Amino acid sequence: MKGKVRLGFVVILIALAMAQIVAWDVFAETTIISGNVRGSIQITAPSGISSWELDSLAAQPNTQTGTLNVKANQNWQVKVKDADATNTNGLMAEWDGAAYVSSGNKLLNAMKVAAASEITLPTEGNIQTGTKTTASGQDVTVTFKQTVSWDDQILTGGHTYRIVVTFTGSLVP
């Protein structure tokens, strides 16, 4: 019986020693992960206007409209400008289909762009502000206004008047 007790005692001691060895071989650590949703804005500028028939006898200014789409997850604003101070500087300038014509004609009046507010190019200005949109965005009607003078030149030979309007969307804190 003494042999059985001793053997049982030895088995218990070995089991306890093994449990401690296994426990010492196990390590646990944690990683903390945190983050935040980034403010985002995406704009789609109105489609280009390629065949605008500017009329000096029509009610002034001549107008064309387009749709700007804004997708934003917080307050936003959209500004417009004519970034080309060399060729246009706010005025529609003569274009030969590939480049602005050196010393070419320009319309006498600067283009205006309007949504909630109106600005006169080339100056950069805010035309629309808004709040968080749906995932499909918010459509904004943009009006391009061009006053045409009796003294503006009629272009020939496939030349047209052209200007590039830059739309910039940004988040507002």
- What confidence score (pLDDT) does residue 25 get? 76
C-beta separation of 94 from 161 below 8 A: yes
Question: Using CA atoms, how far apart are residues 127 and 166, in angstroms rounded to an integer?
Answer: 12
Return the number of other C-beta atoms located less than 10 Å from residue 169's C-beta.
Answer: 20
Question: Using CA atoms, how far apart are residues 13 and 5, in angstroms rounded to an integer?
Answer: 12
- Closest among 148, 153, 155, 154 to 62, alpha carbons compared: 148
- pLDDT tens digit at each of 173 positions of the chain: 555 556 556 556 566 555 555 556 788 999 999 999 999 999 999 999 988 999 999 999 999 999 999 999 999 999 999 989 999 999 999 999 999 999 999 999 999 999 999 999 999 999 999 999 999 999 999 999 999 999 999 999 999 999 999 999 999 98
Question: Using CA atoms, how far apart are residues 116 and 30, in angstroms rounded to an integer?
Answer: 52
Residue 138's contacts (CB-CB under 8 Å, 6 or more residues apart) are 69, 70, 71, 130
Question: Using CA atoms, how far apart are residues 161 and 112, in angstroms rounded to an integer?
Answer: 15
Q: Which fold has domain 41-171?
A: Immunoglobulin-like (2.60.40)
At 104, the amino acid letter reads G
Secondary structure (3-state) at 7: helix
Q: What is the pTM of this model?
A: 0.81
How is the chain split into domains, by residue range? Answer: 41-171
Alpha-carbon distance values, 6 to 3, 12, 16, 19, 79 (Å) = 5, 10, 15, 20, 90
Size of the chain, expressed as the number of residues it contains: 173
